[in-house]
Amino acid sequence: MPKDRDTFRGARGAVLSGAVDLSFRQAAAVWVATAPSLSNGGEGECQREFPECNEPNDVFWDGRPLRRSSELPGLKRGSYYVDPAAKTITVARNPRGHKVEVSVVQGAFKGWRTGVDDVTIRGLTIEKFANPAGLGAINARPNWRVIGNTVRLNHGTGVQDAHIIRGNRIVQNGQLGVVVSFGTNVVISNNVIAYNNYAGYDSNWEAGGAKWVRSKYVLVQRNRVVGNRGPGLWSDGDDIYVTYENNRITGNTGPGILHEISYNALIRNNVVVGNGSDTSGWVDGAGILLSNSSKVRVEHNVVSKNRDGIGLTQTDRGSGSYGPHEIRNDTIRGNKITMNKGHTGLVQNVGDSSYFTQKGNAFDRNVYFLGCGSAYFAWADPRGRNDYAWVTKKQWQAAGNDRHGQFHNNCPS
């Protein structure tokens, strides 16, 4: 718990760890260690194949997290089992010659409910804390600064609620790399945010690279966002005045950029490649996805080889702090979009065709590089039978989209 105006500056190689070493004894075909005091689990939603995701005491084998098993019989080499009653941790591989640790400390820095202001954390490696879902290893306050650190292998989120998050490597955390709630004038820049959500939280609940909620004037620029399980960068829940620019967002299993039930945003000059692999249906695997969000400009991005291109979705999500949660006055202009599969466009399931014609949503001057298919676009059903349809380039332009756009087919003969 820092004091006002504290600065924590790490010397080269300084590591702040929440883990302790384990000492094992062999018991038949497994090895057993006495467990230190363990934490209570959180309340997040887990993916089916990770039923133990809420248990925060992770075990690390030579610095790599093992997967927690819910059963001892058939324990695999890359897993471990915790017996809370016996207070033991069991592995199925001989640990001799290896460093095996378990995370036990809930957090590295605490800001919530302290009233502590003007704190800087710089140059540390902060790793292996047993923070549950919804809590950051660095649990900051709105006027804290987190600069030039490596934040990794923490069970929940890496960095939470700081005002400036700059020049960090925020990698391999169990739930999220970064989360900001109720922030104002937040700057998230020049970070590597990669391979987060190793614990297997359901990304439709809250997991992935980085997320902000109920925040305004958020600047997200020059970050590398790679290989997160879930969305790469995610606005959710009444965010307004968010700018995404000059980020490189690749290989995340959810959308590269997701702006959801939020408002005014500028998304420009980003490179968004190969995202959305674990999504299905609609245009949910878009490189850039606007979900029930208004007054968004999507300009001059390179959006390539994602599951879908640039998508807009309208469902019944009610209203928020700044008006209805709806696709309205969104402009998608001047982007380069490469799609060998998937779709670009707008889909809706509320039975209101005015989203295509009267809400101010527009695609223009985009350049498309398409594969061998015929219907790469999503728009109003030309026959009026459904809420939307997959449409051809001719139908797309006939509806008023990309009249000044360019279309190139890359189809082998």
Q: Which among 69, 183, 194, 172 is positioned nearest to 126, based on CA atoms?
A: 172
The pLDDT value given to residue 41: 75
Question: Which residues does the chain have with pLDDT short of 50?
Answer: none
Class of the domain covering 109-409: mainly beta
Can you spell out the DSSP letters for 126-158? EE---PPTT-EEEE--TT-EEES-EEES-SSEE
The pLDDT value given to residue 89: 96
The pLDDT value given to residue 181: 96
Q: Cα dist. 74→26, 27, 53, 68, 410 in Å?
A: 16, 15, 19, 13, 49
The pLDDT value given to residue 410: 81
Contacts of residue 226, Cβ cutoff 8 Å, sequence gap at least 6: 192, 193, 194, 195, 248, 249, 250, 251, 252
The pLDDT value given to residue 413: 53
Ranges of each domain in the chain: 15-103, 109-409
The pLDDT value given to residue 36: 87
Q: Both tokens of residue 307?
A: 């599951």
Contacts of residue 220, Cβ cutoff 8 Å, sequence gap at least 6: 188, 189, 210, 233, 242, 243, 244, 245, 247
The pLDDT value given to residue 63: 96
The pLDDT value given to residue 38: 83
Q: Both tokens of residue 305?
A: 């080889």
pLDDT digits (tens, 9 = 90+) for 190-218: 999 999 999 999 999 999 999 999 999 99
The pLDDT value given to residue 52: 93
Q: Residue for token digits 């005091």?
A: 37
Contacts of residue 115, Cβ cutoff 8 Å, sequence gap at least 6: none
The pLDDT value given to residue 412: 65
Q: Which among 310, 323, 322 is positioned nearest to 361, based on CA atoms?
A: 310
Residue 304 phi, psi dihedral angles, 5° rounding: -135, 130
Can you spell out the DSSP letters for 46-70? BPTT-TTTT----EEETTEEPEEES
The pLDDT value given to residue 143: 94
Indicate left, alpha or beta for 305 from its phi (over 0: left) and psi (-120 to 50: alpha): left
